[in-house]
Amino acid sequence: MRTFRLVIACPDRVGIVAKVSNVLAAYNGWITEANHHSDNLSGWFFMRHEIRADSLPFDVDGLRTAFAPIGNEFKMDWRVSDSAQRKKVVLMASRESHCLADLLHRWHSGELDCDITSVISNHDDLRSMVEWHGIPFHHVPVNPQDKAPAFAEVNELVAEQQADCIVLARYMQILPPELCARYAHRIINIHHSFLPSFVGARPYHQAAQRGVKLIGATCHYVTEELDAGPIIEQDVVRITHRHNADDMVRLGKDVEKMVLSRGLRYHLEDRVLVHDNKTVVFS
């Protein structure tokens, strides 16, 4: 069922819901899902509606036109998306296949509602797996002494493909700040620890060193500061003294896959609103 998604963030005040629902009702809009959140701390209000496209007398631009006056009146950050316009996603990976394979299978079986325009990797290992899915694979090696050319190529590929969103499926390279800025809140990373614990390299080894009893994974938007962006989703799995760092790597893979795919799904369905380096997730 095709829906339009109206997503709003604005300073909270009385009457917002009435205004928004009035305009939708005025056009006979059939709301299939509605979520609200008033954040007491920041004084901001967040809202997401899904409206059946076939209940409205206009297309997605019509809805935008109809809604614009309210958006202006309440000084809203707002956007409308159309579930029929699948987001274009570029996946980036390195050598580890588990997150990539998981996303590709979910996409292949119709679970992830997006177009994967290509996979970009700094290694060639996963080419065959990607190409079996009918998706272009770009091998863009990164020279540790001079990474700029590689990221220029990445940037060009992403631009050419008009990607809406970049997913770092265990890409293992730090993106340059200007790329982070250009795709702010549109680059999704999976970090293999329960952030803010174990930022940076080899988090499972850090976890083994500290002797924690649960390990986790964190899906977050990428910002310039490493592993410090807004968190979309997290989860953990129990370990014991019997698990060494290799076991943690194995057990952690399952958490990484789950957390990344859930985070991406929320993003694709416009369920994630970012404010003050934190997220509202209408899951």
Residue of the chain from 187, 258, 260, 264 that contacts its own copies (CB under 8 A) = 258
> How is residue 191 written in tokens?
């970090």
Q: Does 134 bind its own copies (CB under 8 A)?
A: no
210 binds its own copies (CB under 8 A): yes
Q: For residue 224, which of 184, 186, 190 has the smallest C-alpha distance?
A: 184
* Interface with its own copies in residues 90-119 (CB under 8 A): 97-98, 101-102, 105, 108-109, 111
**Does 234 engage in binding with its own copies (CB under 8 A)?**
yes
Q: Which is nearer to its own copies, 22 or 72 (by Cβ)?
A: 22
From 49, 52, 55, select the one nearest 80 (Cα to Cα).
49
Residue listed under structure tokens 């009893």:
213
Strand order in the sheet with 114-121: 137-139, 114-121, 87-93, 165-168, 187-191, 214-221, 231-238
Please give the single-letter amino acid code of residue 126: L
Task: Report DSSP state, residue 270.
Answer: T
Active-site hit among 227, 246, 254, 276: 227
Number of residues that bind its own copies (CB under 8 A): 69
Nearest-angstrom CA–CA distance, 261 and 103: 7
For residues 62 and 176, which CB has a smaller minimum distance to its own copies in the complex?
62
Other beta carbons within 10 Å of 276:
10
To the query of whether residue 276 is one of the catalytic residues in this protein, the response is no
Q: Which of residues 153-192 bind its own copies (CB under 8 A)?
A: none
Task: Count CB atoms within 10 A of the CB of residue 240.
Answer: 7
Selected from 76, 154, 165, 231, the binder of its own copies by CB under 8 A is 231
Taking CB under 8 A as the criterion, the residue among 130, 195, 260, 264 binding its own copies is: 195
Q: Minimal CA–CA distance to 213: which of 168, 181, 254, 243?
A: 243
Q: Is 28 in the site for its own copies (CB under 8 A)?
A: yes
CB of 81 to its own copies, least distance (A): 20
- Write down how long the chain is: 283
Q: Which residues contact its own copies by CB under 8 A?
A: 14-15, 17-19, 21-22, 24-26, 28-41, 46, 55, 97-98, 101-102, 105, 108-109, 111, 128-129, 132, 194-198, 208, 210-214, 216, 230-236, 240-242, 244, 250, 254, 258, 277-281, 283
Active site residues: 227
